[in-house]
Structure 1
Amino acid sequence: MIIAIFGFCWYWRRKQIIAHLALVHSSAHLSSHVELAKVYTDKGDATKRNQYTDQPGTTHNETCTRDAWEVSSDQLKIFNNEKLGSGAFCFVFKGKLVGKAPICKIQPSVATQCFENCEVAVKKLPEYAGDLAKDDFVQEIDFMKRIGYHPHLISILGCITDHQLDPCLIIEYCCNGDLLKYVRNRRLETGHEEIMRTYYPVTVDEMALRFKDLLSFAWQISDGMDYLSARGCIHRDVAARNVLVNEMKVAKIGDFGLCRLMDTATYTTRGGRLPIKWMALESLQDYQYTTKSDVWSFGVLLYELFSLGDVPYSLIQPTDMIDYLRSGKRLEKPEHCADHVYSIMQDCWKEKPDERPFFSDLKMELGTLLSYATKEYGYLDMRKPSGGNYYPLLLNDSGSAEQSESHPEKSTAPNETDLISVIDAATGASIESHIKD
């Protein structure tokens, strides 16, 4: 009897110790995320208040209340005949949400209250999806819950994760599709071999793109990436095809399937199909990812944007990319790209990650250029490109190469009020209503 009592006491005490150690580990784990965000990003803090909603920013160890985000099946209508897109392991359909989306209650703000009785995009897995794909899908849903609302990120509106139903991720619907197709579809056909650039309007077509529009998109994307990096997040697939454009010409970064919260200074992973021509040299050589590798990818996105959809490195085979970049070669300046914009691209492609700018720097510099852009800056055109984006990653021997780049003259960044006015004019929408201190 004494032995039995002693055994029970020992077992109970052991459970208490394990629970205490788990709590200590969880606290230390969160602390490491916050500190890494401060050191390896733009001095961000994963726990700071989200200025775009009334809710504090969520933390990495905060348990996501699954019930709060859940949408009942009778609240969601999926239009299976209206496919918006598809990937290797998912399909995206247009849908209609009845009533208020969960985000309206979870992250209340002026910006989120519009998600009621609204059109939505619904991301689903195919029937043949395996356990790994399902785990990745749930991880993407949980990640989107944590990052909070931002006007330049695609927001989760709700989800269905009931094991008895097909899992669904319900996100914002952007009627203009992805940015890559958007800029390609809005090339202005002038009928001339030489493209006209002038300070006077050459067309009354509201769908045509101006230089100021491209700068506006670039600034908006840098703003969204600054928000992510300040919270210790790496995207790992920054590209024009993963940015969506809504009816007000507001750019929103999406596709968070490869996003990760930084557990260490550098995230290292192998395998899978990766966007080789958007990847930084250190990611190609050593599978290493940081905020600065996202900056490299952002530079390639700028190339896509200001070339109006050209395929990067169109003449280079994926297997030759490492040697090409190690030799110091980079993408050439698009034909009608401003010198200062190309200089920003070159800064993003510096070989040493520490020499690349932070997203906060890019946001300030692009904001300065945007504030000085004139409304009548002329229209752009280019040839129709084609090609694939993702390839299996192959490693070559590592090496180093030196490269020198020119730098634009630095100028004082516009204040927040002026910049919001500039973005409003460029997009035709008011983003001021999205911002709540």
Structure 2
Amino acid sequence: MPVRSWTTGTQCVAKGDHRKPKPGELLYHKGDILTIVAMTTVKSTCYKAKHNSTGDEGIINSADVREREALRLDPSLSLMPWFHGKISGPEAVRKLQPAQDGLFLVRESIRHPGDYVLCVSVSGEVIHYRVMYQDNQLTIDNNQHFNNLIDMIEFYSQNKGALARTLLKPKPKQGAKSAEMELTKAGWLLDITVLKLGHIIGEGEFGAVFDGEYLAQRVAVKTIKCDVTAQAFLQEATVMTKLQHKNLVRLLGVILHKGLLIVTELMTKGNLANFLRTRGRSLVGSVQLLRFALDVCEGMAYLESKKLVHRDLAARNVLLSDDDVAKVSDFGLTRAASRVSDDQRAKLPVRWSAPEALTKEVKYSTKSDVWSYGILLWEIFSYGRQPYPKMSLKEVMERVEGGFRMEAPEDCLPAIYALMTICWAKEPRRRPTFHKMREKLEQEMKKRCPGYDSLIPSPRPQK
């Protein structure tokens, strides 16, 4: 059996109990999540690991754990498997047979459009509770109010409240899979009792982003309270379970509590666009700009190797760590190369999008990400300026289609502008790969940063 080689930060799931550890070993139970802290000198199959719930550290044998699985992108994966959409009362009664106390489902109200109905089996009968939508909140009794259906079901699964009994068992819609069950099985569902929320560090249309702490690790917590948006963000979290690279923001896991919470490593210096705008040329030199460009290229080369397309690459979606490492984030639009639906096209950022991504005929690919990377390089070397300054979105689309390309930012290195222009080749096949661009950026870095050679790992590890 080959010896496993796990990097620091790799998360594992215990295959069985280890209740009687020897001195220095870690105590854990089947299903516990453990994070690799370091290799050990004990033997090649042993690692030092940290228990994700207790915070304890100790030695584990790699044969006794498995690496945390990536989740498969599955349209049937649902945060609300108990939601059946627009069905009638009698149909709901049929679905809740055979009668079982506490069996429940939620449906859209046909009689009161915009409201919902919670249907619960109690003593052989089905009781229908109207869920009213008032002042952006949901309520059954005008006493207890909820931000969303997930929040409401969570509450009534633990408290009887206005109901005849607590909710015990969801009746899943045919074909729907419980996201909670799949996340638990794969080891990505985190324990909310261990999470400490701090201050708001960002606000988006989906909800707030908080800093916080999870088992002594500083984290960022993205909160999504709207049911529909939470379901969409579940896809982002699913994509992130597949990604392990030093230049991609790392997912720690998700929590289902009053909606969806996505927990990632905390990037203390915020996004790259704001960082550059607020510091400028006097504080950030050309070598640092090159490092940012190379960091992003490394992360994108990894996505390229996984045949994943980001679709929203821009300086606002690159975050900086304490030690100025740039990491690509926001994987909400990331997926394998595919055609762009009208729906998705409406969300694409025009100033960063390749011409073919804005038409109906051509599919979005890694080569479209390369175009966006050229725009991101322009952002970096212009210190965070908005691309195509003073042009409307309509002008951008028309003029780029007609062959217009931005001029080099002030004092931009000639080799970098040459890289930008080749990224903006009209024909996607003429654009370079991220692998090739990484080589060019490393050559440029060697010229300007003596001793850079010694910082490049060899061979370059890929997971």
Aligned mate of 1:118, from 217, 238, 241: 217
Q: 1:183 aligns with which of 276, 279, 290?
A: 276
- After superposition, the CA RMSD in angstroms is 2.8
Residues 1:291 and 2:366 aligned together: yes
String of CA shifts for 1:149-196, please: whole Å, max 9, x gaps: 1100001012113xx64311100101111111111121145xxxxxxx
Residue number in structure 2 paired with 1:156: 251
Counterpart residue type for residue 219 of structure 2: V
Runs (4+) of structure 1 moved beyond 2 Å? Answer: 49-65, 271-274, 285-288, 417-420, 434-437
| Aligned partner (choices 247, 251, 261) of residue 326 of structure 2 | 251
Q: One-letter code of the match for 1:267?
A: R
Q: Which residue of 2 aligns with 1:269?
A: 341
Following superposition, the deviation at residue 230 of structure 1 comes to 1.0
State whether structure 2 residue 278 is matched by structure 1 residue 225. no
Per-residue deviation, 1:338:
1.0
> Counterpart of 2:384 in 1: which secondary structure?
coil
3-state DSSP of counterpart to 1:69:
coil
Preserved contact between residue 268 and residue 320 of structure 2 (Cα < 8 Å) = yes
Asked if 2 retains the 8 angstrom alpha-carbon contact of 1:50 and 1:57, the reply is: no
Once residues 181 and 302 of structure 1 are traced to their aligned partners in structure 2, the CA distance between those partners, rounded to angstroms, is 15
Corresponding residue SS for 1:274: coil
| 1:301 and 2:376 correspond | yes
Instruction: Report the structure, 1 or 2, having the larger helix content.
Output: 1
Q: Distance in 2 between matches of 1:352 and 1:419?
A: 34
Q: CA deviation at 1:146?
A: 1.8
Distance 1:185 1:50 in 2: 38
Amino acid at match of 1:77: K
**2:76 maps to 1:76:** no
Q: Secondary structure at the match of 1:282?
A: helix
Give, in whole Å, the separation in 2 of the partners of 1:239 and 1:278: 7
Q: Distance between the aligned counterparts of 2:73 and 2:330, measured in 1?
A: 22
Instruction: Assess if the C-alpha contact under 8 Å between 2:307 and 2:336 holds in 1.
Output: yes
Are positions 1:340 and 2:340 aligned together?
Answer: no
DSSP 3-state at the match of 1:305: helix
- Are residue 371 (structure 1) and residue 446 (structure 2) matched? yes
Work out whether residues 51 and 435 of structure 1, in 8 Å CA contact, stay in contact via their aligned partners in 2: no
Are residue 90 (structure 1) and residue 183 (structure 2) matched? Answer: no
Structure 1 residue 277: deviation in Å?
Answer: 0.2
TM-score normalised by L of structure 1? 0.62
Match of 1:316 in 2: 391
Alpha-carbon separation, structure 2, partners of 1:60 and 1:69: 13
Q: Is the 8 Å Cα contact of residues 290 and 445 (structure 2) preserved in structure 1?
A: yes
Mapping of residues 15-54 of structure 1, within 5 Å: none
Q: In structure 1, list runs of 5 or more residues that go unmatched.
A: 1-48, 99-116, 190-207, 376-416, 423-430
2:69 and 2:241 in contact (8 A); partners too: no
Q: Secondary structure at the match of 1:325?
A: helix
Cα deviation 1:217-247 (Å, max 9, x = unaligned): 1011000001011111110110001000001
Residue 211 (str. 1) matches residue 286 (str. 2):
yes
Alpha-carbon distance between aligned partners in 2 of 1:436 and 1:188, rounded to the nearest angstrom? 34
Counterpart CA distance in 1 for 2:429 and 2:7 is 28
**Structure number with larger C-alpha Rg:** 2
Letter of the aligned partner of 1:221 in structure 2?
A: V
Contact 1:295 1:357 in 2 (8 A): yes
2:237 aligned partner: 141
How far 1:85 sits from its partner (Å)? 1.7
Q: Deviations over 1:67-108 (max 9, x none)?
A: 2122211110112xx22223222321111112xxxxxxxxxx
| Residues 1:179 and 1:270: Cα distance change in structure 2 (over 3 Å) | same
Partner SS for 1:256: coil
How has the CA–CA distance of structure 1 residues 50 and 363 changed in structure 2, closer, same or farther, with 3 Å as cutoff? farther
Q: TM-score, normalised by structure 2?
A: 0.58
Query: In structure 1, how many angstroms separate the alpha carbons of the residues matched to 2:422 and 2:69?
Result: 31
Q: Structure 1 CA distance, aligned partners of 2:415 and 2:332?
A: 33
Deviations 1:393-427 (A, max 9, x none): xxxxxxxxxxxxxxxxxxxxxxxx954527xxxxx
- Looking at structure 2, the residues matched to 251 and 229 of structure 1 have their Cα atoms a distance apart, in angstroms, of 17
- Give, as a single letter, the amino acid of the residue that structure 1 aligns with 2:251: I
Contact map agreement 2:374 2:421 (CA 8 A) in 1:
yes
| Secondary structure in structure 2 of the residue aligned to 1:146 | coil
Paired residues, number: 292
Q: Distance in 1 between matches of 2:280 and 2:212?
A: 30
Helix, strand or coil at the partner of 2:254: strand
Instruction: Give yes or no for contact 2:190–2:255 (8 Å, CA) kept in 1.
Output: yes
| Structure with larger RCO (C-alpha < 8 A, sep 6+) | 1
Q: Distance in 2 between matches of 1:50 and 1:270?
A: 41
Give deviations 1:110-150, integer Å, cap 9, x for gaps: xxxxxxx1110001113xx242x122111111111122x11
Percent of aligned pairs with the same residue? 31
SS at match of 2:441: helix
Counterpart-to-counterpart distance in 2, 1:419 and 1:61? 39
Amino acid corresponding to residue 167 of structure 1 in structure 2:
L
